[in-house]
Amino acid sequence: MQVEGISRICVVGAGTMGHQIALCGALAGYRVVCNDIDEGVMERASRFTDTYLSERVARAKMSEVTAQAARENLSFTTDLEKGAGDADLVIEVIPEVLELKRKLFARLDKICPVHAFLVTNSSFIVSSRLADATARPDKICNMHFFVPPLAMLPVEVVKGPHTSEKTAQTIAGVCTSMGKIPIMLHKEIHGFLVNRILSVVQKEAQFLYDTGVASFEDIDIAVREGLGHKMGPFYQMDLIGLDLVYLIGMEHYRETADPALRPSPAVVEKVARHELGRKTGRGFYDYSDMLKERGY
């Protein structure tokens, strides 16, 4: 059931996270427009949508009626004004660079209706660093999905000191309507809940690999089999995207000036080679066969 007052959603950013978040909304019955400045990214997002829905139907995981309705609910555009001009909720899913997000929020504030909520999917940049770029700080918060959004249930809803209770509850309601589990944070903290814990594991894993203590494969095995994690830190970083891991690390380093927070040399090297993980076919692991099977 949709949340009262929310019928149209715009997702800005059609990358790995963005297009799946958009599809979550479309499957929940919302009219969703997914926006990106890159036409190639938009084409891949549209192709993923068609493939995902048809595969779910073929495996009897979804009815043809549900799949068709979701596809009709979802559209793609490179025109931000068209996508966000009548939105009740905008979910920002662009790169983890503060200045880019601030410019976007300032622009959205001018484009969107005055009642619209503007939320960021950022996993580390808190919304209080974006709110003053708009004239509606009470309608802004973090709405952080996990990778992959279509499969992962938790969504962290993070209230800043500027966020109204109505906004927090509305966004939590949208999460529930999408079949997700809203995790409410009553105040901001770097990394929120899950990533704050996960980043400690990833940072130590990177240190062990960078200093030659063990291979990334053995570190992943140790974490899976010894700690009972579903996946090892390097496989998880490949899934998240090493470019995102790098940007998060750099943003935290800029914010704190703490040398210990600079990205791992191994991650920097991978990003320089454009080996970003699953989405490019290679990261720490090789995914080229998987991409070929999916027609990429």
Active site residues: 123, 144, 156, 195
For the beta sheet containing 89-92, the strands, ordered from the edge strand earlier in sequence to the opposite edge, are: 74-77, 31-35, 8-12, 89-92, 117-120, 140-145, 154-158, 181-185
Cβ-proximal residues to 67 (8 Å cutoff; 6+ apart), any chain:
53, 54, 56, 57
Phi, psi of 264, rounded to the nearest 5 degrees: -60, 140
C-alpha angle 22/243/278, rounded to 5°?
A: 70
Q: How far apart are CA 59 and CA 73, in angstroms?
A: 22
Phi, psi of 86, rounded to the nearest 5 degrees: -120, 20
Q: How far apart are CA 41 and CA 34, in angstroms?
A: 11
